[in-house]
Amino acid sequence: MAWSKTTGGSRGYGWEWRRTRERILERDGHRCTILDEDGNRCTEPAHAVDHRVGKAEGGTDDPSNLRSICRWHHVRVTARQSVEARKNRPSRFRPQERHPGLLP
């Protein structure tokens, strides 16, 4: 009789997240909230809810840390975040700079 079998979603995207997501989309009018350099809001329909501060960096599911985002911006933001994450990793393979004096 227990519901324990159906809790699943222990990875953070269970029913609770779906509800939060709906609330954020509702709050933002189902539109992307990203602003361009001139401060104009993106006009695309929201396709996902994004964390302003990624969970890996200590971000929460609080509405203040969530924003609606379109597919295009989502790809861009996600790509940038993974670049940031990579930057924090020490690189042992720096490209060697050639001494200007040695160039032909």
Is 30 within 8 Å of 46 (Cβ atoms)? yes
**Segment contacting Zn ion by CB under 5 A, of 12-20, 43-51, 58-66, 77-85:** 43-51
Give, as ranges, the residues between 74 and 103 that touch Zn ion (CB under 5 A).
none
Judged by beta carbon, residue 37 or residue 97, the one nearer Zn ion is 37
- Cα separation, 27 vs 14, in Å, equals 20
C-alpha separations of 91 from 54, 78, 82 in Å? 22, 21, 15
Whose Cβ is closer to Zn ion: residue 25's or residue 34's? 34
Question: Interface residues with Zn ion (CB under 5 A)?
Answer: 32, 34, 42, 44, 70, 73
